[in-house]
Amino acid sequence: MGSTVPTVPLPTLEEPSRAIVKRPAMRKLAALVSLVLALVLGAVYWNEQNEANRSRDFTAALAQAHSALSRGDLGATERALVVLAAAHPDHPGVGELRTELDQRRRDQVAKREQLRDAILKATRALGFADPALSSAQAPTAAETPAIDVAAPQTGATDPGESKCNETLAALSLCPDHARGAQ
């Protein structure tokens, strides 16, 4: 029978086995690599989610600005445009909104001038003076004559003749006075 059992030398306390030392180091390295990989993937995923949210917010703000412009609220449109242009100055939607707002302002100024010219023509055609000059030359309250207006007749009689008090007689609410006035 001459079979021999191979014997494995046992490590001694003086010299530890290299296999025992390598296992914990490899586990720590694998844990560190998985942690770094998880952090990188999490950051990429969070960035994509954050970018999607920012894009959605930008699109909503751009739609609100267009809505304000379409209803003629140029102040709200300008405030929204300032915020949008600060975040995305090169976005084509921002450039388009800026162009539309500028055109709307030019149209508004042109309409204002046309209205001013029409008012001047109408006042001259009616024989009035220039409205800008007439408001400056309007007479003061001291220069205008006082108008004497008589009190209207109510049909009420002397309150002493009736059972009504003075207030009801003045308002012609007494039945006796109402019949007498008719």
Q: What is the pLDDT of residues 64-101, one digit of tens each?
A: 998 998 998 889 989 988 888 888 888 899 999 999 99
Q: How many CA atoms lie within 13 A of 19 on its CB side?
A: 2
The pLDDT of residue 153 is above 60: no
The average confidence (pLDDT) of the chain is: 74
The pLDDT of residue 125 is above 90: no
Q: How many residues does the chain have?
A: 182
pTM: 0.44
Residue 147 has which token pair?
């108008």
- What secondary structure does DSSP assign to 2-39, as a single string? ------PPPPPSSS--HHHHHHHHHHHHHHHHHHHHHH
